[in-house]
Amino acid sequence: METISFYGIFPMKRVLSGIQPSGELHLGNYFGMMSRMIKYQNENDLFCFIVNYHALTTIQDKDRLMNNTINAAMDFMSLGLDPEKSTFWVQSDVPQVCESTWLLSNVVNLGLLDRSTSYKDKLSKGLTPNLGLYSYPVLMASDILLFGGEIVPVGQDQKQHLEITRDIATRFNNIYGEVFVIPEPEIEKSTKLIPGIDGQKMSKSYGNTIPLFGEEKNIRKKFMSIVTDSTDIQKPKDTDTALFHLFSLFLNKSEKEELANRFMTPGMRYGDIKKELFECFWSYFEPFREKRIYLENHKDFVFDNLKKGAEKASLVAEGYMNKARHAMGLNFGSTNV
């Protein structure tokens, strides 16, 4: 079940989502999840985190993981995530999430994990099938349930993970009583699957991304290599293509109709459209690039805010952990009684 929002406002609901620091953040991340989270922070109780425990399934290089994690945090803040309006932290700074993963593991049906398409996808790309990769959806369920997430904005690729989370929470509550909130995914129709430059889903692991930040020359090159067909210049062009979809992300309804008209009109050159799309992208992200440079030079500010976010998030996590420990008969020792 997916949530339909009225302009994305869910009167003071806990809206929660996370992102992996497994590489450079890209346009798919921005339009699929980040831009909505940033919009929702004004009207909702927003919880947002960088999932570095999840990234361990693909990165085993300490420096790379550390760099990617701080870069992802700076990217999110540059794009408008305000740590004063939200709770923003790095996953490993609230380690209770590992404890709850173990508790939840005991109510997970293996068939559910066997059917995980993202697990199968990763195996097909040659990743070692270790336990971390296999139990990835349980850690993700833990991320959501431990903070009482009610609405979870994500792209289409995370839908199955949300179904697994709902299944785990329902099973847990059936066995132990009402402890966890059953979350709803929030998937936006027009941005649920942003294509990459090769026309497949934009994904760090497919090497087809357009990064949000970086050298102008490199990013321009990415736009210029968006795959197009060889339709004769005098013939109408297909609008169900990566180029049209990517351009649409920056357009309102009437601008989109205008672009569709240009695709239908003989003489249109893909190269011209790609150049315009790049210019559009470059000016859209201009203010964010300036903020990004500022944060790069004020990393202490970023670390301080992440620390405060982790402290706030820990309080919520501890509340749910205590309820779960009590419900399961684990409340021994002075801290838990």
Return the active site residues.
122, 201, 204
The residue ranges that bind ligand TYM (CB under 6 A) are: 17-20, 28-29, 32-33, 51, 54, 140, 143-144, 152, 154-155, 157-158, 161, 191-194, 201-203
Q: Is residue 18 classed exposed, middle or buried when 0-12, 13-18 and 19+ CB atoms within 10 A define those classes?
A: buried
Nearer to ligand TYM by Cβ, of 206 and 294: the residue is 206
* Smallest gap from residue 189 Cβ to ligand TYM (A): 11
Q: What are phi and psi of 212, to 5 degrees?
A: -80, -35
* Smallest gap from residue 161 Cβ to ligand TYM (A): 6
* Smallest gap from residue 43 Cβ to ligand TYM (A): 19
Nearer to ligand TYM by Cβ, of 164 and 321: the residue is 164
Report the C-alpha gap between 176 and 326 in whole angstroms.
Answer: 9
Nearer to ligand TYM by Cβ, of 268 and 309: the residue is 309
* Smallest gap from residue 104 Cβ to ligand TYM (A): 13
CA angle 77, 78, 82 (to 5 degrees): 35
Token digits for 94? Answer: 């609230």
Report the C-alpha gap between 250 and 101 in whole angstroms.
Answer: 39
Q: Which are the contacts of 257, defined by CB distance < 8 A and separation ≥ 6? A: none
The sheet with strand 86-90 has its strands ordered as 86-90, 45-50, 14-19, 151-153, 184-186
Q: Which residue, judged by CB position, is nearest to ligand TYM in the bound state? A: 32
Nearer to ligand TYM by Cβ, of 29 and 96: the residue is 29
Report the C-alpha gap between 192 and 158 in whole angstroms.
Answer: 10
